Amino acid sequence: MSADVFPTGVLRQPGTVLFGPGERRHLPRLLAGIARHVLVVTDARMAGSAVFTDLVAAVEAEGLTVSVFSGTEPDLPRENALAVVREYGGAGVEALLAVGGGSCLDLAKVASAVLAHGGDVRDYYGEFLVPGPGLPVVTVPTTAGTGAEVTCVSVVFDRERGMKVGVASPHLEPYAAVIDPELTLTCPPALTAATAADALTHLVETFTDRVKDVTPEFLDRHLYVGKNPLTDIFCRSGLTLLNTSLEAVVADPSDIGARSATMLAAYNAGMAINTAGTAAAHAIQSPIGALTGTSHGFGVGALLPYVMRFNLPARVAEFAEIGRLLGAAAPGAAPMEQARAGISRVEELLETVGCPTDLRTLGLDPGDFSRVADQAMLATRLTANNPRDLTHASVVEILRRGYDNDRGWWSV
């Protein structure tokens, strides 16, 4: 069978994944197997919770020394990484436990590299620049959306450069991920909505990504290697889960079944983006977030309707399958009709969780369109994944349509 009939698959993943309500019970034994001194990376909200206190006590009861860094800030400023290394470099830390949202998980991953190899996190901006394995990291997400618990990428906001920069390396892959949906029960509604929009965007972008020729040389130089049969499995599973779980979580935030399904979908999305990578919505959101101060999840969600329409001519079959997966496509309808139905259903899901679906709501100024396009085109690690080639002009058009809430269908 030729590769054209059955293309090859590529997948990156942590060594261990534990999923389910209450599965944080495994953490003490899991950590005791790799370290005697553990640095817990979290934020102030989580550090002040009873569940966090109990978690730390359980790890200490296993005979481990536990230090806590609770200063993680949203959008992970570079200063947080500098602070961790300044406070704990040379302290004998042997492993990191990340408990929190995406910024906490990303901080632990980059800190593990800098603690192991020295220097500044800036030394590792880009792909494949981490020289070797860092300290082992165990991730415990408290939100359902970023996928950072299973990815080997961390995104850092560098204030001096005025932009977010990625550190991408297989050496950032977590040692283990412990995914306990009970930890999302206290997640604030706005954060639940933003992370859900992020997960949905991950799944749509990876399922419609560019397919690449993954030669040994290409795999050795690039973290994101495109859509393939293995990532598609995770996308199909995640989209199917979100199709019902998002509405259920909004209806009853205490529904642990719906929380579990949403978190499983977010894990599926993380597994997909870890190999295939995100694309236009993520490339364009970064400069918008820097300008408007809006959340990453709401930013990519607000862009998604217009990015989907831009990409539709190149991915009719994939969007049609999304339409069928989400139960929106009429059986026997033409592929383009099914594809448009899929896009419309994705938009309904975004609106269900309260995600804005236009850029005016984010506070973006039309006078900044060109500047945003300039910055987006610099994110070549992401733009290279988009199924249609992006240009400065096409990004500006996506922004214009998004600002005007123009849901017309694009043609090539």
In DSSP terms, which residues pair with 154 in a beta bridge?
167
Asked whether the predicted pLDDT for residue 34 surpasses 50, the reply is yes
Q: Which residue has the higher pLDDT, 185 or 11?
A: 185
Instruction: Give the domain ranges of the chain.
Output: 16-184, 189-404
Query: Residue 2: what pLDDT?
Result: 42
pLDDT tens digits along 299-328 = 999 999 999 999 999 999 999 999 999 999
Model confidence at 7, in pLDDT bands (50, 70, 90)?
low
Spatial strand order in the sheet of 95-100: 16-19, 176-179, 137-141, 95-100, 37-41, 65-69
CB distance 44 to 69 below 8 Å: no
Sign, CA dihedral 343-152-138-80, equals negative
Q: What percent of the chain has pLDDT over 90?
A: 87
277 Rama class: left (phi>0) / alpha (psi -120 to 50) / beta: left
- C-alpha angle with apex 310: 407 to 374, nearest 5 degrees? 110
> Is CATH 1.20.1090.10 the right assignment for the domain spanning 189-404?
yes
pLDDT level of residue 401 (50, 70, 90 thresholds): very high
Q: What is the length of the chain?
A: 412
Hey, which CATH number is domain 16-184, 3.40.50.1970, 3.40.50.300, 3.40.50.1370, 3.20.20.70? Answer: 3.40.50.1970
What is this structure's pTM?
Answer: 0.93
